[in-house]
Structure 1
């Protein structure tokens, strides 16, 4: 059974044993598989300047095995879009407390594609919308290859370009804004049959509670 856990600075100590595996998985996917050699490190872990205490991680776990994940960073902090790829913005990068940047979205190879059953990528996309709705976010920015755009549309995400696509290291790359709202959640529920809240908020009792109908938006669960 796949569980998606919210990891923030308040509860990271409970997951510290997983983070070496997590960074090695990122290295395997982004350096070994995707050949993003600028991320290469001699210790075989992929870590960058955005892996700070402000980062929020969603990790998809099957027992103690990490099968997927993503990172969310407040846009009030330095982000990929503000520091590394500012040229992808037609205007100034977004700096708002209700908008986070998503990055390092990953799924292990054997859990990709329709042959793997109900999509883990879809679960992660729904999970981050659930997180955003639960804590009062209104949207996410993402730097991504343009071939992701039709996939986002098919999953129910409404992605609005923040600038023109550019060739970066041989890839057509664009920055987008994805809305985090009830309409997006409802669309994903209807298209993909999301059963309801899926996040595990282990030891995050300080997270604001929301009283939202299961049929339209997630209800925060604290374990």
Structure 2
């Protein structure tokens, strides 16, 4: 269900990435009213959507229903460039084995207690990190996420004090990547592993995958 899209294969995911940018705009601008992200073309894209970004997309029959973004912390990233004050206690965490996590979303009709999309994306993030020797994930998040992640058994540590940003109480954190966190995330919604699809190749799609034309 989770497809990893990076610089090496993004040319095979043009339609899906376009959906993903438009969904991000609908959610972050349309729903959440983060008007600083508004663009006239209806695509939510920032300076970190570049060749270094890795996207984890939840696809159902070619349709994007959820996703998130990972950026290497040795490259410019959101916390370092925009919100460094959120790491004013422990300092910015950078390393070849640390990635920053941003822009998680699930489409409205696939939310709710009965849906597994969110936790499949979260499990996919850990699965990807474990496969690529990533030891930790940094993230700027609203503080209400913290108890949800602790409920999943994640090790989450603040990098600084919370701050009010555009009416939202936000905190910079670092999350340890572990097999236990991955397994507990799967178990929370009884999700079967692995969740990441085999890598798409030019002219081929994974078994059971089909493309829906996009206008």
Q: Same fold (TM over 0.5)?
A: yes
Deviation at 1:182, TM superposition (A): 1.7
Could you tell me which runs of 5 or more consecutive residues in structure 1 were left unpaired when the two chains were aligned.
205-223
Separation in 2, partners of 1:189, 1:154: 13
The match for 1:179 is 176
Matching of residues 1-223 of structure 1 within 5 Å: 3-89=1-87, 90-114=89-113, 117-203=114-200
Separation in 2, partners of 1:192, 1:155: 10
Give the 4+ runs in structure 1 shifted more than 6 A.
none
Could you tell me which runs of 5 or more consecutive residues in structure 2 were left unpaired when the two chains were aligned.
202-215
Q: Decide which moves more: 153-162 or 62-71.
A: 153-162
CA offsets 1:89-120 (integer angstroms, 9 cap, x no match): 02431110101000000000111111xx2421
The count of corresponding residues between Structure 1 and Structure 2 is 200
Separation in 2, partners of 1:85, 1:187: 30
Structure 1 vs Structure 2 CA RMSD = 1.4
Separation in 1, partners of 2:80, 2:163: 16
Q: Is the 8 A contact 1:86 1:93 kept in 2?
A: yes
Secondary structure class of the residue paired with 1:126:
helix
CA offsets 1:192-218 (integer angstroms, 9 cap, x no match): 3332111014248xxxxxxxxxxxxxx
Q: Is the 8 A contact 2:123 2:182 kept in 1?
A: yes
Secondary structure class of the residue paired with 1:78:
coil
Q: Is the 8 A contact 1:39 1:46 kept in 2?
A: yes
Separation in 1, partners of 2:19, 2:197: 20
Separation in 2, partners of 1:4, 1:182: 18
CA offsets 1:120-152 (integer angstroms, 9 cap, x no match): 111111110000000110110010100111111
